[in-house]
Structure 1
Amino acid sequence: MIPIPKTLESHLQRTVTTHCFAWIIRRQDGVALGFTDHDRPLLVSDVMCELQTGMTGSEAATALGLSIDSAEIEGALSSLAIDRADIERGLYDGATVETYLVNWSLPGDNVLLRRSGIGKIACSDGKFTAELKSAAAGLNKIHGRRVMRNCDAELGDRRCGVNAADPRYFAEGRVIQTDDAAFLVTGLEHFRSGWFDNGHLTWDSGANAGRTTVVVSHAANRIALRDIPTDPVAVGDTFRIIAGCDKSFAQCKAKFANGVSFRGFPHLPGNDAAYAYVSGGDEFDGGPLVP
């Protein structure tokens, strides 16, 4: 049960009320943005909430228990505080949204109805829609290790053990020709084609400086990215690229000589073995299934 201040509770019991809704978005970088569906700005929880932003909230049901309730918040990108580029850069990923019921005639009388995390964000036709997830959504996340054939570590992290700063596994390059998500570059001449497949590229300069994306393919001096960069890439932009890993035991041994630190379970029979057609040629004698 949500505790409601006595003054607000008394106000809501009147025949005529002066209440509205306000939303405060708190990003992980410390920035807090406030919005309201009222026709004038309101100071709520020490955050000035903008008026008439086109912000609306869908109906949300809250129930006892651990079930995940969700809602949506949407609005036009007319507010100067919300920039589509910031959304695409991921500045709103992991942000929290606080929903308040406010007595607009006395904004100090308010109650926090819910605190949600931002899930998926979609932008189209000058509007954005953000999915809000309750705290129970965290219970849906996988915690601990999973028994799977492929490795669940990230290349270069503590569990992997590979030194990503080793010159064999990274390169610094420069763009010499652009084509959407594919580029011709210099700096990769000493690496064979495919070495950076599934790798990560971080821009060091240009409009996309600081952003990281996944490399889909690497062939000679041409690389293709999974996502088209948010801002245009220009000739001369520099980057740092790290070798790719497909998480397989075979590549871990052959490419990185790191089989002893492999974080998967390649020798355990999986569903393919359990549901395969029975034949006399299959032998599960405890020996390795993957060379």
Structure 2
Amino acid sequence: MTVTTLARAWAVTRADGVVLGFTDHDTALSFAGISFRPQAGMEAQAVVQGAGLAVDNSEAIGALSDAAIDEADIIAGRWDGAEIRLWEVDWADPAAHRLVFRGSLGEVTRAGGAFRAELRGLSEALNRPVGRVYHPRCSAVLGDGACKADLSRPGLSGEARIEQVSGARLVLSGLHGRDDRWFERGTLRITSGAASGIAGHIKNDRARPEGRREVDLWAAPGILPSPGDAVRLEVGCDKSASQCRLKFGNFANFRGFPHLPQEDWLLAPGAPQPRRAEAQPSFQPAEDPEPGEAGAGA
């Protein structure tokens, strides 16, 4: 009878820097500076890989537990986009291991005390559309290499404290000198408390007297913060040419086409043109009378 000593081990690196190791072997393994725990509530199915440019894919499934994979962390989005590596390893000699998959976690779903996560290989990036989009608004991401806006400038971010929480609406205090709607389309990051590290996209931002603000997020945080928790607000951009010029002084790097014709004009080329001023009638001399009519009625 042939006995195999092959096992699988995988490591997950979350966006907040936490690294967790798992293995389907019945004892702990250690290599690459990571300790891989057995029966820790996670296992990976077979990885589907190809030699070409097809997207590699698999799934990770497991049970939710306080020791390794906490449901609150999944709700808070701390597992979204986490980097994942999968090895085949000789459990009798862990130094003999081979990396067979590297990618990231995709959609994470949960039901009945268990979770299921899609594994996306490195070739997943090939599914993204590339190329220039011709649109009146800017196609760059605020602060990236195309935008080049300096987001470290004073006034483009601010620190505040939470006064009240009601779902996706937060009332903040301690933030003075920012115009109404200054942070719309920006980011709110929770920097203390149980929800520390969670970020949300700002839908509405309203300045109130005495440094108070009412901020609506597009979705409520997975873990609701508490009054007194600290937050950081980062400026937003509506991608318009006027805001690029007036708010950021960055019009030289604007990546839109503000003078494109309107879409209605493009879709209806047969539409009537704007009415022009009508020409004034010109003077026409009277026609000569027919022969025999001259002097008629005299």
Give 1:139's aligned residue: 126
With over 3 angstroms needed to count, the CA separation of the structure-2 counterparts of 1:236 and 1:30, relative to structure 1, is closer
Unaligned regions of 5+ residues in structure 1, if any?
1-13, 283-291
TM-score by length of 2: 0.71
Question: Are the structure 2 counterparts of residues 54 and 200 from structure 1 closer, same or farther at C-alpha, using a change threshold of 3 Å?
Answer: closer
Shift of 1:231: 3.6
Is 2:158–2:232's contact at 8 Å kept on the other side of the alignment?
yes
2:81 to 93, 96, 99: 93
Q: 1:236 and 1:34, CA in 2 relative to 1: closer, same or farther beyond 3 A?
A: closer
Say which of 219, 222, 225 aligns to 1:227.
Answer: 219
Unaligned runs of 5+ in 2: 275-298
CA distance in 1, matches of 2:92, 2:112: 34
Query: Partner letter of residue 23 of structure 2?
Result: T
Q: Is the 8 A contact 2:15 2:78 kept in 1?
A: no
| Cα 1:153/1:79, change in 2 over 3 Å | same
Deviation at 1:214, TM superposition (A): 1.6
Aligned to 2:239: 247
SS of the aligned residue for 1:61 comes to: coil
Instruction: Measure how far apart 1:68 and its partner are.
Output: 0.7
Q: Which amino acid aligns with 1:237?
A: D
Question: Distance in 1 between the 2:30 and 2:135 partners?
Answer: 51
Q: Is 2:60 aligned against 1:73?
A: yes
Superposition map of 1:1-291 within 5 A: 15=2, 17-27=4-14, 32-43=19-30, 47-78=34-65, 80-87=67-74, 88=76, 90=78, 93-100=81-88, 102-104=89-91, 107=94, 110-141=97-128, 146-156=133-143, 159-161=147-149, 165-167=153-155, 169-187=156-174, 191=178, 193-219=180-206, 220=208, 221-253=213-245, 255-256=247-248, 258-269=250-261, 273-276=265-268, 278-281=270-273
SS in 1 for 2:35: strand
Partner of 1:10: none
Distance 1:29 1:172 in 2: 20
Task: Supply the distance in 1 between the matched residues of 2:15 and 2:164 (Cα, whole angstroms).
Answer: 35
Do 2:149 and 2:248's aligned partners in 1 also have CA atoms closer than 8 Å?
no
1:232 Cα offset (Å): 3.2
Q: CA deviation at 1:193?
A: 4.0
Deviation at 1:279, TM superposition (A): 1.6
CA distance in 2, matches of 1:198, 1:152: 15
Contact 2:40 2:68 in 1 (8 A): no
**Partners of 2:148 and 2:253 within 8 A in 1:** yes
TM-score, normalised to structure 1's length? 0.72
Q: Give deviations 1:95-144, integer Å, cap 9, x for gaps.
A: 122142x4545555554333333223334443232211222123234567
Aligned twin of 2:279:
none
**Residue aligned with 1:136, SS:** helix
Q: Secondary structure at the match of 1:137?
A: helix
How far 1:248 sits from its partner (Å)? 1.9
1:182 positional shift: 0.8
RMSD: 3.5
State the 1:264 CA deviation: 1.4
Between the aligned partners of 1:56 and 1:45, the Cα distance in structure 2 is 19
Q: For the residues of structure 2 that align with 1:206 and 1:47, how far apart are their CA atoms?
A: 28
Tell me, yes or no, if the aligned pair for 1:162 and 1:258 is still in contact at 8 Å. Answer: no
